[in-house]
Chains A and B, each alone.
With several copies, the nearest count.
Chain A
Amino acid sequence: MPINKIVASFDKAVADIPDGATIMIGGFGTVASTPTCLLEALARKGVKNITTVSNTTGFGSDVWKLMGYKFAEDMDILVRNRLVKKAIVAAPVSTIYQNTFEKLLRAGEVEVDMVPQGTLAERIRAAKAGLGGVYVPTGVGTIVEKGKEKKVINGQTYLLELPIQADFALIKAHKGDRWGNLVYRRTSRTFNATMAGAAKVTIAEVDELVELGQLDPEVIVTPGIYVDRVIARPKDVKVDDKPISQEALESQKRYKERGSA
């Protein structure tokens, strides 16, 4: 039988994700690099007590709708539906916007395990590459070293960082084929490409499915062996007409003033 990793619907793609699962969520923080439709499906399913692994905890769809995005949901959809128990994350909160995660964190309703961004990437790669751990110089002498083994190697101090083992990785790519080969667009590789293959099951949401052989072998970033399921976004999506929250409007103003998130 020809290999076919293409699945028919987003709901089917996430159907076997159980309560309590550890789930990697790709992207950097911008919604363009986020597996929006997979997150929406996961929210519909209502999977409980999950642990997420991601760079940010999401800003919420209002922020992105204001910027003109039609696929506007990010990790916030999981947080505000109270599906997240704990987030392993580099950037849990923003300096210009109090997101849902921060509110729940301050209310003691979610846990956070904050990991320096490069260490997060390396721990995810360690899981993918079958390493037992890596010694990183990042975080020595800071809050990050708490509870970690320290080792001096060649005169420099390192922390032992362990692989992050996850059950599922939800990632966003640009194009994919039935073997699971993936290409990305520009800076949307980020944690998407790093997480591909790092969890037991990797599910890729793509802008476009192409025939096997249409991706140039020199250009494929993620070899299909790292990917278990591929699903294409609908060509367009209906944007709900709920009014934009006041908080999101203010956040956008701050963003424009400061020029960055």
Chain B
Amino acid sequence: MSDKFKDKFRLDRQTMALRVAREFQDGDCVNLGIGIPVLASNYVPAGREVIFHSENGVLGFGEVHTAGEGDPDFVNAGGQAVTIIPGTCFFDHHESFSIVRGKHLDISVMGGLQVSEKGDLANWLVPERQIGTIGGAMDLAIGAKRLIIAMNHVTKDNQPRIVKKCSYELTALECVKLVVTDIAVIEVTKKGMVLKEYAPTWTPEEVQELSEPKLIVAPDCKEIEL
């Protein structure tokens, strides 16, 4: 695929996280995966109360401590120490995944490697590594009412991650509802992938050039507001 956009502007990780956080509605219970997703907890829109779930057994926690600080018995799924807030509660692992699998979470945000036209997700195995880790990804992908994927639009080799069909090992079928990339916001609908927003300096046509499936440009498609 074309690398003519190589030097063009991209959203950085924090900005992608900020865009993801705009999706959080008042009262949502949200699980944030390792990487870009977990950064989104810093950008909950003002005035909205959002409850975070971590699959290691906690619902409702506050800020992340810097490495080495905090209570080693209170960490998020990435192993970072977090803080108790009013409303925090703890539970064991099968209860935690009852919450996940039972469709109690409003939103799950995860990183991705490939997202297909139909919303299939591949996010646990880079083929070159041969060995990967499933962890809780498959449960979170099918469990949340709404799955949002935050990832770069293309690979380091400039290969598209928005694909017709995933070539990597799958995490789950037809699960992704929204993809936030470093150049676009794409909604997965029954009719196909709908381009809702594009990064500053980009055009819908340019985003299409870096995407395998035909994107439907939303009537109200616009530049991402930051």
Direct contact of A and B (CB under 8 A): yes
- State the A residues within 8 Å of B (CB): 1-3, 28-33, 55, 67-69, 90-95, 102, 105-106, 114-119, 121-122, 124-125, 127-131, 136-144, 174, 177, 179, 181, 184-194, 197, 211-213, 215, 217-218, 220-221, 223-226, 255-256, 258-261
Q: Mark B149-176, 1 if CB is under 8 A from A, else 0.
A: 0000000000000000000011111000
Q: Is the CB of A91 within 8 A of B135?
A: yes
Residues of chain A within 8 A of B94, CB atoms compared: 121-122, 124-125, 129, 194
Q: For B26, give its contact among A1, A115, A137, A181 (CB under 8 Å).
A: A1
Q: Is the CB of B138 within 8 A of A223?
A: no
Residues of chain A within 8 A of B95, CB atoms compared: 223
User: Known interface pairs A1-B47, A117-B139. Does A187 touch B90 (Cβ–Cβ under 8 Å)?
Assistant: yes
Residues of chain A within 8 A of B132, CB atoms compared: 93
Would you give the shortest CB distance from A154 to chain B, in whole angstroms?
A: 14
User: Known interface pairs A142-B170, A213-B87. Does A261 touch B34 (Cβ–Cβ under 8 Å)?
Assistant: yes
Residue among A28, A117, A226, A261 with most chain B CB within 10 A: A117
User: Known interface pairs A93-B133, A119-B139, A179-B51. Does A224 touch B101 (Cβ–Cβ under 8 Å)?
Assistant: no
User: Can you pick out 27 interface pairs between chain A and chain B where the beta carbons lie within 8 Å of each other?
Assistant: A28-B77, A33-B73, A55-B93, A90-B136, A93-B131, A118-B97, A118-B136, A138-B138, A139-B138, A140-B172, A141-B172, A179-B60, A185-B73, A185-B74, A187-B54, A187-B56, A189-B57, A189-B90, A190-B93, A192-B92, A194-B92, A213-B87, A224-B59, A225-B99, A226-B99, A259-B38, A261-B79
Q: For B48, give its contact among A1, A136, A186 (CB under 8 Å).
A: A1
Would you give the shortest CB distance from A198 to chain B, in whole angstroms?
A: 8
Beyond contacts A31-B72, A118-B55, A217-B90: 17 other A-B pairs, Cβ-Cβ < 8 A, are A2-B49, A32-B75, A55-B93, A184-B90, A186-B74, A187-B73, A187-B90, A190-B56, A192-B92, A212-B87, A217-B84, A217-B89, A220-B89, A223-B99, A260-B38, A261-B78, A261-B79
User: Known interface pairs A91-B134, A137-B101, A141-B170. Does A212 touch B49 (Cβ–Cβ under 8 Å)?
Assistant: no
